[in-house]
Structure 1
Amino acid sequence: MKPIIYLLLFMLPAAVSGQEKGIQFRHFESWDQVLTQAKKEQKFIFVDVYTTWCVPCKMMSMEIFPREDVGTFMNKNFISIKVQMDSSKSDPPGIKQWYADAAKIKALYNIRNYPTLLYFDPAGNQVHRTVGQSGADEFIQNSADALDSNTQYLTMLKKANSGENLSPDFLKALTIGAWKASEREKSKFYARQYLSLVDDQQLLSEEGINFVTIHTERTTDPGFQFFLRNKQKIDSIKGEGTAFSTINWYMSKDVEDLVSINPTRPDWTKIYKDIKGRFPHYADELIIKRKIKYYTDRRDWAKVDRNVYLLIPEYGRMLTANELNGYAYNVFLNCNEVSYLKNALQWTSIMRSKEKDHSILFTRASLLYKLGRAKEAIGIIEQIIASSADQDLSGMEELLKMMQNGKKTWIEN
């Protein structure tokens, strides 16, 4: 019997590994052998390109690839293999055997990020790729896209380069494909084309707004003007404040560019004049907030204090609770001057009257404790714990013990 068993094992084109219900990753001696087997079986090829140090790669291997629904789809439609891109002395022989092919794959298919997931047709032509971690449903959909010539990213790219007139739907799909492949310049290029062909009404949905947000990076991109034109409509779909915070984010990048010209001594007058000329309704907020960050980094608490007070009259419009809470907590962590700690405590009173948020109460308790008002601080922490019985409060309980024992809850700089 033994000779027969050995013969059967020898005749197998590749061994199969993996969990029974998940993707069955097969082992081949070379890339050429994979291509030969794909032609023989007339199956597409899926390649998980990974490194041993890549955390998202490990998450895919532990949480997505072993799933039964993922395995059912992939095993039916693909020959699946793994290719390791880094190397170490402890690599097993099967990994070392692939070093040369791994180097060729990295160069030929421009592998820069991990995990990169490559898809090939049965003839060995790359037709699709995605980069990065995804959930199970998204991974299955991405893999299904690889089987259809209408949704294969590289097939669509060839069509786009052929000079054909492209429909808005095609350009949208191509933009998303380029984004998933981590080809940002291409996604930006095709997003511009798509946005030039559709009107605002076609974009005013949750999906449309998300698309514009993802594919807008700067104030010079067309998506920025879409947000300026449709602030109220966007807020009605995505929630109050969405348009403002998004617009603010794009404009803050322009401020950052100007600060970076001389980051140690910014010319605030010149920067303000530039931003005021382009965004007159937003310049005050943008510059004051950037000054707060600048002076916080330099621990100039007098100027931090002064600039925060310039913003407080705009609380609820230019200044959010999260922002003011962040300013107050930074003072707690890094400042020991009583006058500024007391002012930060006043900021939490402003928020407390309008917001019900444990993070604000936590900041208030921290400031009270640092100011020597331990009994009040402990009472607030006990209140937080009592109202959050269904949450993991181990960190909060440890903080309570530190306060009860008179220990510092901050690190001295």
Structure 2
Amino acid sequence: MRFILLMLLCVFTLNVFGQGIDFFKGNLSEALTKARSENKIVFVDFVASGSEPCEQMSAEVFSQEIISAYFNQRFICVQIDVEKEKELTQKYDVTRVPSMLFFSPEGKIVKQIVGPISLTDLVQTAMFVAGDLLSLEDQWVAMQGDKKNLDLQQRFLLQAPELMATIRNQKELEKWQFRVEKVIKHYLARKPRENMINREDANLIMMYCSQPQKKNEPVEFMIQHLEEFQRILPVYTLVSFFASYQDRLVQSMAMDGDLEYKQQIARIKGDLKSVFDSVKTKSFSVEYLMTAKADAFYALYAQKDQAKYVRLQKEFFDKMGDLASPSDYQRAVVALMDAVANKLTEESATAALSWLDKLLSGNSDMATRVRYLIMAGDCYQVLENNEKAKSCYNEAYMLSFQTGDINLQVRLREKMDLLS
């Protein structure tokens, strides 16, 4: 959610950057006068000297370039010391610092924040106050009144994910998911591609067209015009999107038995070279890492060859050594266990246990550890080591009480009973 909001904020701030919020040097009255002349809202930060929460806000939130760029562009910002401005402090009933108020140019309080606030929450609040975020319903009504207005649709699509994240009612959420799907389909069908070479539409493509598929027309459009998009988007944004997208696409194709996954990997040195040249890895190339994973998945899912899968994974881990991450081991064992279900061979079970030992020796949350223990128990059953299997199930069973998952407890109890 934070990524989506900050990506949206980039759209509004464009290329303006700063080294922190530029607080107005005059008093509040002078700030309001300036705000009226520029038709801006006034942001007031009430602080106290030596206050740890105030210093934390200044160091961790106000100093962030993505925050300062937006606030310096959209507001007249004022900082008031509660000890030096006691009359103002009393007038606006400031009893705790930091306290932040947004004033209309006429001096009316629009919004008040009491206490420290996260970067994401402050951004969202500020964007609502500035009118850069409207409610979903307000935007929907506006679009219904002007169904051909692509600008309204673009704005709605950019803001929808963040606004939907606050919806707690499942039926309400499903209603908006349906509407968003309808709008993005309409928008992409009618927006001329030559008019989509801009930051906003690039973000829309990355937000709504990220499901990997061979003929993903909007994504292919970005690749065809990569040089132009590189001029308007930060390098890290394109690297993050295409590295993840291509990796998932290649894995999906390999699992489906589509050997054209090799052609997708070749794009790393082809039409995506300028992006992947910026990808930094600890040692091995992106091409090798992507190929090693895809070849193993092709063996497991398409060829249904457990022995080949295990051999390829062992070769990968031997080559990676200490560079292999917990996510590498997790991906290897989960894919194996999910793909073969109850047809695990003894060789595969032995390999899976070696990978699970790596995972169980590290740190993981409760639910994940329980999952690892269950898989380990299943592997020991294949090896006919019922004592070890029961030990794994029992540990998982004891931990399951902390998760509160009754169904899981019943399933584990049944597994242990079968071994008795």
TM-score with structure 1 setting the length: 0.45
Q: Provide the TM-score with structure 2 as the length reference.
A: 0.44
Q: Which one has more relative contact order, counting CA pairs under 8 Å at least 6 apart?
A: 2
Larger helix proportion, structure 1 or 2? 2
